[in-house]
Structure 1
């Protein structure tokens, strides 16, 4: 890039080499310096002109842009430091309700190693401090880390950022029916999201349900053995793993399904819940006493006749337990679709 492309205004002899406040006349030159020496990909000329006009308006009194520049001896801009101010909620770190982000500190290669960038940045920060604008953040590249560190900046060099995605791809239209077939990824975003679980019903030899007392859920204090499916697991694999982790019992199968359970999302959980309850079998007294609990999840094993579980459980949990126990008794799998979240 030749010097003409960065020319913005005639040089003033009394201010050469010293940082001065930028004016609207400097806007396009600042944008060109930022485009050429800050951005990963330079802007097209159309965007330089458009951005320059926008910055010129924001550099006028009352605008939200602050910039300091250093003039080169040949009348071009040698260096610049640009910040944009934005409103924030007032708090101890930003009592004025205004913060700023430094969007560009750049020096033309012909005028580097003369302290111009440090001069422009220092003057910019002094102005922001005088206006009580705080905090001040910055987009920092590897080559300017030392400069920003010396000026008092600290923290991550790579803030997170997002831009709005491109408009969605239009679906394919079936010429015969007029039906719109969305791309697979787009259609997947429209379908219901759900989590899966797998549980086991254990009873003692008198068919009294065996349940574990959870230490992490006041809403569901007494629970069947089981839990949420891990990615890549099938339901029976989840039941076997959870049983081993929660009780120390090793199951071998084959699986015998007792019930399917469904719950709508609610205040406790943002997704629908779909699960399977398998028959864990009957445990004798010794097997129950040998259960080894994971204290991070459960602190008690209890065996009670079904009616005695009612006052210890939410109504929907008790109804599910009754449906599962009835399926065990009759041999007919239960369908229980009202185990909703946060409805009691």
Structure 2
């Protein structure tokens, strides 16, 4: 709406995309953007008003230190002269004042819109003085510098990694306890743990893997002992990131009740990254 019906020179698709991605997460009550719209019969917007809340130093006239800038007011040409602009701006100002406790309002008005805003209580020059100063590297037009790419496309270029979580137990003599692998001759002794499932947090993975592999129930609170990072290798094309949690001391009875758990043959056992069930 702003690009098509307000700006003298519409934005490119690149800049519309950037504005869309920037505005979308800011429309929640916890952030700063507030908007009111009037729908047209075909479901598109007939008119809209967007305000952005920002902090200022408090003063008697705005004790909470909040101001709002009316950033966009736009009406499609076929719906003008119906009072739509007045309706969306009035709804926006009323909401900001009543629900957000904003008392200072700012806007940049065209000469044609000046009578409307004066009726709503705005004073001063309809055109605020403003200046834009960009660093030399970014002052050129969009497209002449580094290209903006959609988030999903950028995600394909960043580091890929798999994540795992495991638990370090000791017996009553302080010796590390590990599981004997049934598939890995290179790493026959491994900690209780495994690869994180989608949607899991590291501690949740550690609890689940511990229950599945030993029958022991971890209750927490989680205590992180170490993080482990591995570079991609010939057999696995991704980096690995792991978290090792403290499982505490197991009694002889607990060890005996968990037949898959065995003492490591050394006090200073190695800690290879786990990859699946033992």
TM-score category (smaller protein): 0.3 to 0.5
Bigger radius of gyration among the two = 1
Q: Identify the structure with the greater helix proportion.
A: 1
Give the structure-1-normalised TM-score: 0.38
